[in-house]
Every structure is written in structure tokens, then in C-alpha cells.
Structure 1
Amino acid sequence: MNMNYISDKAHLGNDIKIGRFSIVEDNVVIGDNCLIGNNVVIHEGSIIGDNVRIDDNTVIGKLPMRSVNSIFKDEDKLAPCKISNECLIGAGVIVYAGCGIGEKTLIADLAVVRENVTIGQRTIIGKGATIENFCKVGSNCKIQTNVYVTAYSEIEDYVFIAPCVVTSNDNYAARSKERFKHFKGVTVKKGGRIGAGSVILPGKVINEDGFAAAGSVVTKDVESAKIVAGNPAKCFRDVPEEQLLKNQ
């Protein structure tokens, strides 16, 4: 007895294995040699490349919900979720419609990637991390366990973000209509690094090879190749020459 629902309008490649109680909706495309776990839902139109693994209880291509007072408005039509070749998607992950995930990227268990997000190649999104909507994450990044990347943020290539880092985009903390004009996420330039438990305030920029040490509260932009530390974070010293990205 087949316990799955697979639409006859879906397009499945060769040598695919699908666990029990999984759903593949209309116009989904799944490439060759994919492994789909149990109780996985792949929503309409989603595109899965070759050699992709998707673990149990994961949802691909979810449509967003909007509360009545949300700052975000529903879009007429989100692009299909696209997961490129050789990606690994963990258990209990939610990847929304309108996302594009680059090749060989790993999204660990319980992570959430919201709509209108792009993630580059060979990037790691850690366990329980959240990438909010309208974010761009580059290639070869490591975004570790329980990191929160707020909406409208940009993370460039080779960025390291340690566990439990929090970013923010609202200087008005949900008070005053003026805030709707000023939402701005954070920017971490190529090779930027953020230590465990740091907080990055709205609109702040960590420039190339900049490093916010563990526990920092970043209230000002971090200069290139400088280490900042403390609350509020202040310049501590230069990043050692041997640790600059160009010397790796």
C-alpha cells in the first residue's frame, strides 16, 4: 500500500527514494538520485535539483502567513522554491516559497528560511537558525546554531556567525508609525565574523574582515579588519594579519 501522495503532475527523476507519508504537490520537479524522508511536504512548483537529501518532517515551498498588523504585504505570486544540486536539508526544516538555495548548501535540523531569501553555494545554516524574509546570504558562509538573521539583511561571502547571535532591524522597537519608513537589517561584508551571543543593532555594517567579539552589542559600524568588543562595542585591536581572509 502506497502511503504517499505524489501528484501525477509532478516530475520525478531517476533513482529517487521517498519515505512514508510524504506529499509531493502539482508541478514539483525533483532531480535524479534524491533521498526524501518521511512526512516531508513539497509544495506546488518547488524545484529540487539532483543528489539532494531532505530529512523527515521538513516542508519545502511553504507559503507565508500575514497577521493583520504585519508590516509585510502579501505578494501576488511568489517564485517557486528552488533547492540546487547536492544540498542537504535537515529534519523539521521549513523553507518558504520564493527561496533560492545554492549548490552543496546544508540547512540543519529545525532551521527556518523565510520567503524571498537567497543563499549561495557551500553555505551552512545551523540547527535552529532563522533567516527572515528579504535576506541575501552569500557562499561559503557558516551561520551557526540558533542564529537569528533579521529581515532586510545582507550576509556576503565567507562570513562566520557564531551560535546565538541576534540581529535587529527596528530602531523604534514596535512603537510609532515612523518606524515603517526606517526598517533596515544588518550587513556583514565579505569575511566578517561575529562571536557567540552578540547583538547587532539595526542598519549596522560589519565591514570586510571585521570581527565583533563574543557578547558584543554592536551600536556602530565595525571597520574593516578591526576587532570590537563590549557593550557598547568599542574597537579593541586589529585582526591579526594571519587571520585575514586573503591569507587563508
Structure 2
Amino acid sequence: MINIAKSSIIPDTVIIHDGVIIEENVVLHDYVVVYSGTIIKKGTEIFEHAVIGKIPRTSGVTAREIKPKFKETIIGEYSVLSPGVVIYAGTEIGSKNLLGDFCSIREDCKTGFGCIISRNVSVNYNTMIGSHTKIMDNSHITGNMIIGEHVFISVLVATTNDNNMGRKGYSEELVKGASIGNYTTIGAAANILPGVNIGENVIVGASALVTKDVPDKKVVMGIPAKIVRDVKEEECLKGEI
């Protein structure tokens, strides 16, 4: 059964599977595909060729097993999903998010309020992204990662979650992404290695290679990244969390 509010705009080219709820004043553009178990909240606009609620599949070559069942896929109210966005099953997109062209967010992820996930960003499975966080073009956010609120991640940032690079198979004890604290800024082309804990109000310089934990309010630069100074009080980002 499909439940679509009368005030929503759905072209004939859109494909909507059974078990979908679309609330008031939603606009879907041509060739959007919405899979079962999806809820699209009021006021959201989804542009051409986006795919929502996609069930992950494997050919049997992945170490990480795919769950047989997922929770609902939720697109928060007044969000905008640009052309070619792919949202996998079980992911929850917060209200007033902006998702750029061709970004991909895998299963069981969650974003907070007012996030920007920009063009060609890939967010892997089971990753949490806090409110008001911005992730810029062509960055990769690895699986099993936690990103706080008011974080800024610049372009071409790479994060990884497996120091064994697949040689020991998959387990959540071995495969763990970084955690990034509130109000932290990550410079362009930085590389953050698995399991690293980056504190609050940290500044990571462009092209830095972060190999170990970074305390709160530190500036790190270099390969490998080293603390070069404290973040000055006037440099600290502040606001409500």
C-alpha cells in the first residue's frame, strides 16, 4: 500500500514501491525511485534520478555480511535531495538537510538537523553525523564512524576504518572509523586513519595525516600530523549543541 498526501507532486515517471509514505507538500522530480519502507516527510524536494531506500546487495565477495532486514528509511522534513542522490535502506536523513548531486549514503546511517552532504560525497554504513555538520565535495566518510555537531569537513578528505586493510576479515571490533568532536574543522585532502579520536574545536590542517588521537582545542598539521599549537579562544567555534 502507498500513502501519498494529496498536496504532494509526483510525476508519472516516478517509481514508488509498496509500503511508502509521502507526507504533505513533497515534490518528486522525474525518474525518482522510492523503495518499500520509506517515509518522506513534509516539504521535502527530491530531484531527478534519486534512489531512496535502496536495499544493499552483494555478489558474495564482501567480508561484511548484509543484514536480511532494515528499519525504515526516513527523509526529514524540508530537506532537498539533488539529482542522482542514493540513500540506502535504514538510513535517517534529518530535517532541512541539503544533499548534493550524486552523493551516496549507505545503510543504517543518521544525519542531524541542517546538514550539508555535498557533491559526490560517499558516506559508508552505520555512520552518525551530528546537526549542522557540513561535508564538502568528493570526501569519503567511512563506515562505523561518529561525527559530531557543527563539524566542517573540507573537500577530498579521506577516512578509513580498517588498519588491516581487509586481511583479517570484518568484525566491528576490528573495523572502526574515527570519531570527530563538535566544532572541529578538517582541512582539504586530510587523511584520518581508523579508530582515531579527534576532540572538540580541533583544527586539522590541509593534507594532514592523522594517525593518533587529538585532544580538544589543538591545531595539527603534517605527515604524520603533529600538534603545532593550541586553538586560541577567539578561534573556537561556539553555539548551541
Q: Tell whether the structures are fold-level matches, with TM greater than 0.5.
A: yes
- Kindly provide the amino acid, as one letter, of the partner of residue 220 in structure 2: V
Query: Does the CA contact (< 8 Å) of 2:64 and 2:170 recur in 1?
Result: no
1:111, distance to aligned residue in structure 2 (A): 0.2
CA 1:50–1:176: 2 relative to 1, 3 Å: closer
Taking the TM superposition and a 5 Å limit, the aligned residue runs for 1:1-248 are 9-177=1-169, 181-246=173-238
**Aligned-CA RMSD value:** 1.6
Number of residue pairs the alignment of both structures matches: 240
SS of aligned partner of 2:238: helix
2:186, 2:40 → 1: CA distance? 32
Identity across the alignment (%): 34
Q: Find the aligned partners of 2:68 and 2:52 in 1 and give their Cα distance.
A: 19
Q: Which deviates further from its counterpart, 237-246 or 94-103?
A: 237-246
Residues in 2 aligned to 1:168 and 1:65: alpha-carbon distance in whole angstroms: 22
TM-score (structure 2 length as normaliser): 0.95
In the TM superposition, residue 231 of structure 1 has moved relative to its aligned partner by 0.4
Kindly state the Cα deviation for residue 41 of structure 1 after the two structures are TM-superposed.
0.2
1:79 aligned partner, one-letter code:
K
**Equivalent-residue separation in structure 1 for 2:40 and 2:147 (angstroms):** 24
Tell me, yes or no, if the aligned pair for 2:160 and 2:194 is still in contact at 8 Å.
yes
Q: Kindly indicate whether the alpha-carbon contact (under 8 Å) linking 1:66 and 1:72 is maintained by their aligned counterparts in 2.
A: no
Judge conservation of contact 1:170–1:179 (CA < 8 Å) in 2: no
Distance 1:218 1:154, change over 3 A: same
Letter in 1 for 2:42: D
Residue 193 of structure 1 aligns with an amino acid whose one-letter code is: T
The answer to whether the Cα contact below 8 Å between 1:144 and 1:162 also exists between their aligned partners in 2 is yes
Structure 1 segments of 4+ aligned residues over 3 angstroms from their partners: 176-181
Query: What code does the residue aligned with 1:151 have?
Result: G
